[in-house]
Amino acid sequence: MTWDKLNAWTQASRPPFFVATIIPIAIGWIMAGAGRPFAALVAFWVVIYLSILLMSVFGPLSWLSLLALLTLPIFARMIGLVRRTADWQDLHGQGRYVRMLYFFCGVAIILGLL
């Protein structure tokens, strides 16, 4: 391991990194178990979007990661579908929206790391 890589790892382990990633994700998982599935779903994705935004603003990711915000219409469509569904078992076949959000947000994060 070179000195530059060691320095990068040290910089990545600073508190802003944990505040922008691990803590919001942990809060999202805690809320998901609170018995309010719709509110937890919305809160989880809001936390993901805010994490990407914070990491773009405070440095670990470049501005390219803000391309994840282009997935907000998919998020809105998913939320509308969930609100119109009476039985959550019917949503099992609609998982493509969640997969698209994970994929496009992940690609935006990877682009932000380049």
Is the torsion defined by CA of 87, 45, 19, 114 positive or negative?
positive
pLDDT digits (tens, 9 = 90+) for 20-62: 666 666 666 665 555 567 777 788 888 888 888 888 888 777 8
Contacts (Cβ under 8 Å, ≥6 apart) of 78: 94, 97, 98, 101
Domain of residue 67: give its range: 3-113
Q: How many domains does the chain have?
A: 1
CA within 13 Å, CB half, 54: 17
**pTM of the entire structure?**
0.63
Is residue 68 within 8 Å of 52, Cβ to Cβ?
yes
